[in-house]
Structure 1
Amino acid sequence: MPEPYVSIPETITVHLGAPSSNAQNVTVPFADYIKNVASSEIYPTWPEQAIRANVYAQMSYVLNRVFTEWYRAQGYDFDITNSTRYDQSFVPGRDIFENISTIVDDMIGTYLTRGDSVEPLFAQYCNGTTVTCPGGLSQWGTVPLAEQGLSAEQILQSFYGSDINFVTGAPLSPNLGGSFPGVTLRLGDFSEDVRTIQTRLNRISTNFPNIPKIYPTDGVFNADTERAVRAFQRQFNLTEDGLVGPATWYRIAFIYNNVKRLSELNSEGLTLSEISRQYPERLTEGMSGPGVQLLQYFLAIVGEFYDALPRWQAEQIDGIFGPQTREAVAAYQRLVGLPITGVVDRETWYALLSTYQSVLLAQPEQEWLEEFIGLPETFLVKGMRGEAVRKAQQLINIIARGYAEVPAVTVDGIFGDATESSVSVIQSLLGLPTTGAIGPLTWEGMADLAETVLAGSQSARGQYPGYPVGEEAT
């Protein structure tokens, strides 16, 4: 059976009426919700395999609603309604049939997918008597099939097709109150949440060509990402500020759901490579991207000063969370007395960041670089402005004194074409990808090159320093 890539929410919020009605919301445990729906829609006297087939469809349906944030992406504060015109039958306070309760408890953590897609199938169904739904499951129609000896899986395949998969063992997770990361995403940010936005905008742009493509989708909020966000905001009448706050985040989610038809039986589907946000606050084995690269960078620096931690080579800082990274994380957790999981949660991340900063402060020979080193939490990309960009430009000009191939730039705090071009040349010197963006490895490499140039330009009394006297030295 396929591995589960979706978590089961501990609770689900149900709107007791049509979506736009002024009705009450109730929040109930997920298992209790499914037991209520099953007891409201099917009969306890049905054969067990018919009941199981229906529970599979009911759980997959509601998990699709939760996974796609179908209602929350439209600005509602609930996960599903109890209006059978739109969703499932949920009757507050109703009695639950004992055998249905037992079956649901046994099946929690199961759902359907189709083909290579990883999202829960929008398992449309109807009672099959007063209402029919072509392509969907007929609830009453499951009974004769079960009486013929078909299993729940065979029954479901007869309705949904032979390419459906049966996922089991999906973990339970606390509700996160919606997928919005809690902070507005903007130029210079990097995270899996940024990669989620990049991936979704690229797919949306296929249907709306005025939205430019973003390449690469690496989790770095660069100028291309900002241009795409602004174009999306223009297209859908949002404030055109290039920022991804809650309104833009959920509007992107809603449009993405629609162009991918994620809430339809004939969904285009999501591949595993498109699933970039399951636990946005965690880094785990198998993940990749700038966040992992930054983690490895921290571990490498800290590892130079603690014998209990492994040593890293530059080529091992590759942005791929493999076994070596997991072992290094576990070693760090052991060192500082955190639970040894090999997984980077918020507590581990901030502890490692604090250790890294302490290591920098303990290196007196790098005091001259204190104003330059220590900004790896932010990627510098074209289009940004501010003091961090100004400091990067100062480093570029120091390097330019010793490396003729590096063009000097105007120190104006504006990351424009000239700064990007010079950064690309420096990255080539360092053997790094020539992205023109300043990430942790580029920042550290620039600092090392600048230190070399300054050390090499120290002159004896009366000696010509090698560059015009009076030129800005910092």
Structure 2
Amino acid sequence: MGIQFSESSYVYIPKTITVHLGPPDSTAENVTLPFIDYIKNVASSELYPTWPEDALKANINAIVSIAPNRVFTEWYRSKGYNFDITSTTQFDQAFVPNRELFDNISQIVDETFDDYIVRGVRVEPLFAEFCDGKVSQCDGMYQWGSVDLANHGYTPIEILKYYYGEDINLVTNTPIKVAAESYPGTPLSLGDSGIPIYYAQLRLNNISTNFPAIPKIFPVDGIFSTQTESAVKSFQKIFNLPSTGVIDKGTWYKILYIHTAVRKLAESTSSGILLSERPRTGNGIIVPRVQIVQYYLNILSAYYRTIPAVEITGVLDLATNKSIIEF
């Protein structure tokens, strides 16, 4: 059984995906095709149709998870490329144009192409790295090892947990959407408000953990305040961008790229984006769920001395957890 997030449209399966037929910096051709056809091609290129069905299913779950991760993080597009993923296993996974597809693999893909792996209460599809385990080794799943596990009675989810950890789950029935760039289309500046600004603030705060010269923004509320402008200017200065305090397209994608790097979103060891970091909206005001809980805990702490007050960060940290337990 998989899990379903009530607002899973934040992550989606792209209707189509654009594949670069070579290493990122090569002059190779780009091919755009339906996502499900891409997965069938990769699975037929990476896997043997004679493998046990449970091993095939686990491997296809990993293959499916990698591609939406590239789309979600805009891994290549945030670097200025005009494609979503490459065809080379040095960087991504194998894709061979016009290759023959295996019927049993295609059938499994038809059933699972909209399921992806997540770690714990993270949001983003796990970059479920895999390798053959014989010629090459990696930090993720060994493909031939998955065959051995399946032959010993392991189910697909048990195989995945063996390699990626006990805290992983499958998100099922993910919405299918036409992929679009995350940049809102116009520059964001002082006085603006909205969801894109909320995400920019959240990412800048996460980046500031590694780059403390960037001041923290509080509250993270989707309103482009003077604090936000100061953080943007500091970010631009550190990363050699014009220090305007305005989030134009170049700044937006540089923030996205650095955030992906510091949170390791494109690695199997990702620290991830928590479900609690997702915004909720009410009366036009963006309020993360954890911030609301922290706010009420602080009110209660004034009346119940055993409930410790907490900093309103929007992060479900140890202090907040302790306060909840006390409540």
Letter in structure 1 aligned against 2:249: P
Q: Identify the residue that residue 265 of structure 2 maps to in structure 1.
A: 262
Q: Deviations over 1:403-459 (max 9, x none)?
A: xxxxxxxxxxxxxxxxxxxxxxxxxxxxxxxxxxxxxxxxxxxxxxxxxxxxxxxxx
Matched, 1:122 2:127: yes
Letter in structure 1 aligned against 2:195: E
Letter in structure 2 aligned against 1:3: Q
Q: CA 1:24 to 1:319, structure 2 compared with 1: closer, same or farther past 3 Å?
A: closer
Letter in structure 1 aligned against 2:128: A
Q: Identify the residue that residue 70 of structure 2 maps to in structure 1.
A: 65
Q: Identify the residue that residue 172 of structure 2 maps to in structure 1.
A: 168
Task: Give structure 1 stretches of 5+ with no counterpart.
Answer: 277-286, 295-317, 322-474
Q: Deviations over 1:37-66 (max 9, x none)?
A: 000000111111111010001111111111
- Cα distance in 2 between the residues matched to 1:124 and 1:231: 34
| Matched-pair identity in % | 52
TM superposition shift of 1:16 = 0.8
- Cα distance in 2 between the residues matched to 1:2 and 1:225: 35
TM, length-normalised to structure 1: 0.58
Verify the 8 A CA contact 1:195 1:218 in the aligned structure 2. yes
Q: Identify the residue that residue 2 of structure 1 maps to in structure 2.
A: 3
Matched, 1:293 2:283: yes
- Cα distance in 2 between the residues matched to 1:153 and 1:198: 35
TM superposition shift of 1:2 = 2.8
Q: Identify the residue that residue 230 of structure 1 maps to in structure 2.
A: 233
- Cα distance in 2 between the residues matched to 1:180 and 1:153: 35
Q: Identify the residue that residue 83 of structure 1 maps to in structure 2.
A: 88
Verify the 8 A CA contact 2:221 2:286 in the aligned structure 1. no
In the TM superposition, what are the counterparts of 1:320-399 in structure 2 within 5 Å? none
Moved over 3 A (4+): 318-321
Aligned residue for 1:141, secondary structure, equals helix
Between the two proteins, the alignment pairs up a number of residues equal to 283
- Cα distance in 1 between the residues matched to 2:216 and 2:133: 44
Q: Identify the residue that residue 418 of structure 1 maps to in structure 2.
A: none
Aligned residue for 1:140, secondary structure, equals helix
- Cα distance in 2 between the residues matched to 1:148 and 1:273: 38
Letter in structure 2 aligned against 1:154: E
- Cα distance in 2 between the residues matched to 1:49 and 1:124: 18
Letter in structure 2 aligned against 1:14: V
In the TM superposition, what are the counterparts of 1:143-292 in structure 2 within 5 Å? 143-176=147-180, 178-276=181-279, 287-288=280-281, 292=282
TM superposition shift of 1:149 = 1.8
Counterpart among 16, 32, 52 of residue 27 in structure 1? 32
Which structure ranks higher in relative contact order (CA pairs < 8 Å, sequence separation ≥ 6)? 2
Q: Deviations over 1:55-80 (max 9, x none)?
A: 00111111111111111111111111
Counterpart among 40, 43, 46 of residue 38 in structure 1? 43
Aligned residue for 2:256, secondary structure, equals helix
Which has a greater percent of strand? 2
- Cα distance in 1 between the residues matched to 2:253 and 2:277: 17
TM superposition shift of 1:320 = 7.2
TM, length-normalised to structure 2: 0.83
Verify the 8 A CA contact 1:293 1:320 in the aligned structure 2. no
TM superposition shift of 1:3 = 2.0
Verify the 8 A CA contact 1:201 1:252 in the aligned structure 2. yes
RMSD: 1.5
